[in-house]
Amino acid sequence: MNAAPHTARSLAALVGGCFAVLAIAGAAHASGAGRASGAAIYSVHCAVCHQGKGQGVALAFPALADTVGRYLHAPDGREYLVRVVSFGLSGEISSNGVDYDGVMQSWTQLSDAEIAAVLNHVLTHFNARTVPADFKPYTAAEVRRIRTARRSFDQVRAERAGILKSLGASATAPRAIKAH
Ligand code: HEC
């Protein structure tokens, strides 16, 4: 009779131990050079909503994985990603065919370098399949330039809609030409 709870406790301890080891391994990785600070910023500020691998939570927090890399193929996509993190976003949006109507605050407490690092992390780790081959990482100076021109939530949302429209238009243009 006592065997089962004991086994369950041992298992829990074992699983807990594994997470501790993973956490230490993750921290060691995060303290490494280069992209490391982007990973750390992501896990502290973003993962609570967008989840550890950027997979999001359907109907609550849109995925960042395999969704935002393609924005870089639109003319204003690069600026949009800086603006959405710098100035926030609220209201109805659609992502991966699912509707969201949430609020993301503006990340005023992050420095230009931190915004550059977290975006580079999201793009290179969660969007490697859709990021353009000639993608150049964001720099703090680029973020600063874009960030100095303030935008409201509504402006950011309108910009997002324009980007999706232009991506849709460019995706369907060749077929439209063939049809005529
Ligand atoms: C409290 C939850 C929360 C946190 C924390 C959060 N976000 Fe968001 N984020 C959202 C929500 C909600 C939306 C969509 C808002 C809407 O529905 O209009 C969003 C939207 C976005 C978008 C736009 C996605 C798209 O398809 O256009 C990006 C990019 C983004 N977040 C990046 C980040 C980054 C980077 C961080 C960390 C610095 C972060 N978010 C932290 C909730 C959050």
pLDDT digits (tens, 9 = 90+) for 17-49: 444 444 444 443 444 444 459 999 999 999 999
Q: Supply the pTM of this predicted model.
A: 0.80
Q: Whose CA is nearest to atom 25 of ligand 1?
A: 68
- Sorting pLDDT into bands at 50, 70 and 90, what band is 9? low
3-class secondary structure, 90: strand
Mean pLDDT for the stretch of residues 89-116: 96
CA angle in degrees (0–180, nearest 5) for 42-43-45: 65
In this model, does residue 120 exceed pLDDT 60? yes
Neighbours of 49 (CB within 10 A): 14
By most ligand atoms within 8 Å of CB, the mutation choice from 48, 50, 90, 106 for ligand 1 is 50
